[in-house]
Amino acid sequence: MTKATSPNAKILYIEDDPASRRLVQRVLDNKGYHVVVAADGLEGISMAREHHPNLILMDINLPNMDGREITTRLRSLPNFSDTPIVALTANHSAGNRELALAAGCTGFLTKPIDVSSFPGQVSAYLNGLSDPLTADEKSEHLQRHAQNLVERLESKIHELESANKRLRELDRLKSDFIIMVSHELRTPLTLISGYAHLLDEQVKQTEENLSTEMVSGVAEGLNLGVTRMRDVVNEIIKVARISSGTLDLALGPVRLCEVVQDVFEEYLEVLEKRQINVQIGDLTKLPIIQGDGEQLKSAIYHIFSNAIKYTPDGGSIFVVGRSVGDTVDLIIQDTGIGIPDSEHRRIFDQFYTLGSIEHHSTSKFAFQGGGLGLGLAIVKGIVEAHNGRVWVESERRDLDQFPGSTFHILLPLEHVKQPAKL
């Protein structure tokens, strides 16, 4: 590499802290250096390859690869065996300097930089200065450096293995999900095509006009199929909105007693058919909360429909509410099959359904009838968008004794907007 001193020298600064980047850049720019910056190690390596800097300033504490590791890597590349690489670190602890030099750094400077002497120090390294390191110090610290590398490699392998496991699990859940969506859509499609077929037959067979009764029966059947399909599609859209953080809340005063009553009334027919007894406590005294009534209704709807689905015929569902400080805790308890302790968190994950999809039934409110595994993910998304919390308490899963499950939805009275998650 050709030597270049100010004002022609090009300097690459690898640093994750924007304030340090700006300061060093300004100080060196003023002296006529051409400074390029990279925010992490991998970007730093590719910028080094692209820009061929005359000197590299290297922060040591960087995320992912640290400064020593990047230096070792750069030294193994053909063009960087002689390039001055100067460690710049706020870590003053003993041995750090030697470790950086053993890893391949030419020099070692501490942060914060001294603005008046810094350009002179940089110029000295550009002109061939290199910090001394005895052979003994070098071999001792090289060994430490190698041990650190192996240790980091081990922890990275663990990290990758668990990320990989999680991805495989997600991949499986998504495949199951695709199978379930096709099941869910096939049922209403069969219904719709059946009714359309029936109508066609009737038109062909009947010489006179079709009876109003017949036509309205067919229309009802078609409507049922379409509604069912729309529900499935809406569920998928809602979960996609929650995942992408684009679920917008239309805030207003919400009376939970009215929301619960609305949900309950939608289920009257099913509850009667399944002989499930519902007891709703006095929710009229609960404070009015600020939230999105429609979304909260959909959250309660999902928990209530699960309570029905996982409770055998003749069981009970209890709904009570209490105000706790400046929050409201809505509790929905059932006398159903229960949920094992190990699954209390995972049931709120997208696509997660407990049990095999072979047992998946498309009958929505039949005892243990399967769903898409999106219901509780939607509930969690809606409740968290309100800065609330949802969780379940249940002793175990038991299909003989029915220990039941208790879901809590804890909502703040006032909606306080949280900064967006990065």
Whether 381 and 371 have beta carbons less than 8 Å apart is answered as no
CB nearer ligand ADP, residue 124 or residue 181? 181
Binding pattern for the stretch 282-321 against ligand ADP, x by CB under 6 A and - elsewhere: --------------------x---xx--x-----------
Q: Could you say which of 55, 353, 390, 415 contacts ligand ADP (CB under 6 A)?
A: 353
Whether 228 and 187 have beta carbons less than 8 Å apart is answered as yes
Binding pattern for the stretch 38-77 against ligand ADP, x by CB under 6 A and - elsewhere: ----------------------------------------
- Verify binding: residue 336, ligand ADP, rule CB under 6 A: yes
Which stretches within 244-334 are classed as H helix? 256-266, 268-273, 293-309
Stretch that binds ligand ADP, among 170-178, 212-220, 239-247, 332-340 (CB under 6 A): 332-340
- Verify binding: residue 375, ligand ADP, rule CB under 6 A: yes
- Verify binding: residue 376, ligand ADP, rule CB under 6 A: yes
- Verify binding: residue 233, ligand ADP, rule CB under 6 A: no
Please enumerate in sequence order all residues whose Cβ is within 8 A of that of 270, keeping only pairs 6 or more positions apart, or say none: 308, 365
Minimum separation from the CB atom of position 346 to ligand ADP (A): 8
Find, among 335, 301, 303, 296, the residue nearest to 318 by Cα: 335
Instruction: Please list every residue from 392 through 421 that binds ligand ADP, using CB under 6 A.
Output: 405
Give the separation between CA 312 and CA 334, rounded to whole angstroms: 10
Please enumerate in sequence order all residues whose Cβ is within 8 A of that of 304, keeping only pairs 6 or more positions apart, or say none: 263, 264, 267, 317, 319, 332
Stretch that binds ligand ADP, among 43-51, 241-249, 283-291, 374-382 (CB under 6 A): 374-382
Q: Measure CA of the first residue to CA of the last residue in the chain; give whole Å.
A: 41
For tokens 């750094």, the residue is 105
Q: Residue 211 belongs to what H/E stretch?
A: none
CB nearer ligand ADP, residue 196 or residue 229? 229
> Which residue ranges make up the site for ligand ADP (CB under 6 A)?
302, 306-307, 310, 334, 336-339, 347, 352-355, 370-377, 405
